[in-house]
Structures are given as structure tokens and as C-alpha cells.
Amino acid sequence: MSRLAIHGGAPAKSKAFPAWPQHDALEREALLEVLESGNWWRSEGDKTAAFERAFADYHQAKHGIAVTNGTHAIEVALAALDIRPGDEVIVPNATFVATASAALFAGALPRLVDVRADSFCIDPELAEAAINERSKAIIAVHLGGCPADMDALQSIASQHGIALLEDAAHAHGSEWRGRKVGALGRGGTFSFQASKTMTAGEGGIILSDDDDFEVMARSAHDCGRLPGEWFYSHYHYGSNYRLSEWQGAVLLAQLTRLDEQTARRHANGRWLDRQLSQVAGISPQRMDSRATRNGHYAYIFHFNPRQFAGITRQQFEAALEAEGIPTQPPYPPLNKLDLFQSGAYKNRLSGAQARADHAFLRGHFPNSQREFEQTIWITQRALLGDEQDMQEIVAALRKISENASQLT
Ligand SMILES: *Cc1c(COP(=O)(O)O)cnc(C)c1O
């Protein structure tokens, strides 16, 4: 029984994982080209437009609209659907705040529903049960890159005549039945923030196959203009969510690595699934058999504290970090955020909706709670590693499993 690194033992990890972000001469030359061209603005340059086309093509989507970040991408998608005060948007309780805050930005109520116990993605049955006459959209989040049940969600959305959006901020290159996610709903949104699997520091994009949705999203992201019309004609309410040429150029370079990196993370993820299923008390996030690829924004697994001497998630993470494995915290359940607990979210609502008692916020979300307290997220760059890197992850987890009682 070897000593845990957190207690002075040798770390399980002997060599460094790949660094993130990654770049080479492609990014450098692309940035210099923008610099010297003098076209730093998307309306004059061609980089951001070329990136939109390339990213949409890669995801088998008809349209792509690049925006300033992934939060804005959701805001613009909701604007394109004409989501307004009084409306409701169904959002999983285990996600980054942006999925819900974008609804509030539109003046609409995010109706939080719990996630599934195995995939930690939105539970389609609970999503359906949450639909009422004010519901306008469901936002599926492919948590950690693991696709949500798109078949069930599509059929619920179409039966009830509401839109299905995808927050694919974790899921660049992930697939559901051989088709890229983010291009399956009415609209899909991505983030290119620094931690994501493609990055320009900040950035985002909206994908869609729907021509009307595209026109409205493009207009909303560009001050309410319409393509081809005079510059100072503004047809809708919009704002400036345009992506710069610097970011468009960097993202074009980043996209050239996405497929190979996604394949590597997916393959390493499936190998870890097999190995870690054999460690008592560990259950990898369950990928549906219809999910054909996981882009792995993170490698997520559940641990049963009873089989780990009752340690907390924070103790588990600290031990894993000491062994040399990078982790990131899971999301706190949205209903527990101060934004919702304090009632501050109501400042974004109006009329009867602002006065209503939203009892669901005090309800039980056992699986979101499990996600927060009992899942470990290994950072995506670790999954870019080689066979030895993966073996060292397994060795670190076995070591913690065998010595968990020393951590309490
Ligand atoms: C990162 C992220 C966003 C927001 O993206 P930003 O580019 O940081 O604004 C939205 N949803 C999820 C699930 C995310 O992880």
C-alpha cells in the first residue's frame, strides 16, 4: 500500500499532462495576418465569416453565427426565438449559471428541473412534466461533453410545440447517433472561453439549420440589422455581440486540431470508463449507447462516499490533485445559488411572474445535489494524454480507493 501524495508519498503522476491551451505557428501567422491586413473588424475582414462557415460545416449545420462568448450565444438564441417576459425556459439544474441567466436576461423564468442520476444531463421526463402554457423552450446541456437524450427531448419539444435548444459549451465534436450535437435542436450554442476544448480566450457561436432562426439570430447579434441592408437601418431590437477578427482567426486555427483532439479524448474516456468501472465505488458518467462520441470537456465520474470512507468531494479532489491529476469543481445546483435563494433573480422578471412564488426553487433536486457533492471532474487537458498518462490516472484513483480512510 503506497502512501498518498497528500501525506508525502510519491505522486502517481510521473510526467506532466499536455498543457492547455495549445497553439503553434498557425495561430501566430493567423494573428499576424489580421494585424497587417488592417481588417480587425468582422465587417471588413473575412476570418470570422470563414470560421463560422468552417465550424458549421464541421458540425453538419447549415448556419453559424459567431458571437462574443458562450453566454451571449444563449442570449442571442433566445432572442431569435422571441423569448420574452412572461415566458418560461426549461433548464437543467446542473449546469453553468449562463444557461439560466440567459433566460433571465430575456426577462423569462428559467424553470429548473433535475438531471438524470447516471448521465447528469437533463431528465426528459422531468422536462416534460415542467411544461406549461408559458413554456417556450427547453435547453439541453451536454454536461462534460456527454450528449443529453436528444431523441426523447426532440419528441417532447415537437409534441408540445416548443423549441429545443442545445447548450453545447462542453460538447464541440460530440455526437448523438453519428450526428454532431449543437446542430440537432432549433439552435445550438458553443463557448470558446479559455477552458473549453477550442478557445480564443473568449468567444462563442450559434448553429442552426433553420433559415428564419438564423436571420433573427444574426440580426440580434448585430444591432438589429439585416444582411444586405443599409448599415444604419435597424429592424429589430439587437445589440453588438460580434466576434472580432483576431478571435475568428485564432478559432480557424484551433478548429484544425479539434477532430483529432476530440477523437483522442473520446478514446481515452472510453478506456478510463472500462478501467474505473472496476474500482469499487466509482461509476463513470453514463454515456447512452446512442451517443457515438464524447468531446469530453471533462472526464466525470461519480464516487460513492460510503466506499471511500465517507470522504467529501473536496477531500477527494485535494488527494487527486496531490497525485498530479488536474480537477475542476462540479457545478453547484442552480437553485442553491444566491441569485435564486435571495430572490435577486426576480429583478429580471416583471408582472405576475415577478410576484409569483416559484416553489420549484425549494424543491428536491437529488441528482443535481449528487452531481455537486459526489462527482469528480478531471480537466480535459488530461484526456489529451497518452497511454501512460491514462494508466497513471487509474493508479492515482486506485491509490485513493485503497487509502481513503487516511483522508478523513
Ligand atoms: C462555459 C459555459 C457557458 C458560457 O460560456 P462563456 O463563453 O464562458 O460565456 C455556458 N454554458 C456552459 C454549460 C458552459 O460551460
Query: How much is the pLDDT for 2?
Result: 83
Mean pLDDT score, 328-340: 98
The answer to whether the CB of 166 is under 6 A from ligand 1 is no
Q: 29-40, pLDDT tens digit by residue?
A: 999 999 999 999
Residue 325 and residue 259: Cα distance in Å, rounded? 24
The answer to whether the CB of 367 is under 6 A from ligand 1 is no
Average pLDDT, the chain: 97
161 near 134, Cβ under 8 Å? Answer: no
Residue 169 C-alpha to ligand 1 middle, in angstroms? 5
Mean pLDDT score, 212-227: 97
Q: Which residue has the higher pLDDT, 227 or 73?
A: 73
Q: How far is the CA of 268 from the CAs of 121, 265, 289, 399, in angstroms? A: 21, 5, 17, 20
Residue 98 C-alpha to ligand 1 middle, in angstroms? 6
Contacts of 9 (CB under 8 A, 6+ apart): 2, 3
- What is the DSSP secondary structure assignment for residue 69, as one 8-state letter? -
Query: How much is the pLDDT for 403?
Result: 97
Q: 120-175, pLDDT tens digit by residue?
A: 999 999 999 999 999 999 999 999 999 999 999 999 999 999 999 999 999 999 99
- Strand, coil or helix: 248: helix
Contacts of 103 (CB under 8 A, 6+ apart): 78, 83, 88, 89, 91, 109, 110, 139
The answer to whether the CB of 96 is under 6 A from ligand 1 is yes
Residue 52 and residue 216: Cα distance in Å, rounded? 16
Give the closest residue (by CA) to ligand 1 atom 14: 169
Tell me whether residue 96 is one of the annotated catalytic residues: yes
Of ligand 1's listed atoms, the one at least distance from the Cα of 72 is 9
Beta bridge partners of 327: 378
Which of 362, 327, 325, 314 lies closest to 13 in space, CA to CA?
325
Of ligand 1's listed atoms, the one at least distance from the Cα of 196 is 1
**Residue 237 CB neighbour total at 10 angstroms:** 10
Degrees to nearest 5, angle at CA 246 with 240 and 248: 75
Look up residue 193 and give its three cell numbers.
472561453
Which of 176, 180, 170 lies closest to 207 in space, CA to CA?
180
Which of 66, 68, 64, 104 lies closest to 83 in space, CA to CA?
104
Mean pLDDT score, 328-347: 98
- At 284, give phi and psi (nearest 5°): -60, 150
The answer to whether the CB of 68 is under 6 A from ligand 1 is no
Tell me whether residue 340 is one of the annotated catalytic residues: no
Residue 257 C-alpha to ligand 1 middle, in angstroms? 21
Which one of 47, 59, 142, 170 is the catalytic residue?
A: 170
55 near 255, Cβ under 8 Å? Answer: yes
Residue 285 C-alpha to ligand 1 middle, in angstroms? 20
The answer to whether the CB of 244 is under 6 A from ligand 1 is no
- What percent of the chain is predicted at pLDDT more than 70? 100
Tell me whether residue 170 is one of the annotated catalytic residues: yes
Residue 31 and residue 254: Cα distance in Å, rounded? 12
Give the closest residue (by CA) to ligand 1 atom 3: 70
Of ligand 1's listed atoms, the one at least distance from the Cα of 170 is 15
Mean pLDDT score, 341-351: 98
Query: How much is the pLDDT for 85?
Result: 98
pLDDT surpasses 90 at 1: no
Tell me whether residue 232 is one of the annotated catalytic residues: yes
Q: 57-105, pLDDT tens digit by residue?
A: 999 999 999 999 999 999 999 999 999 999 999 999 999 999 999 999 9
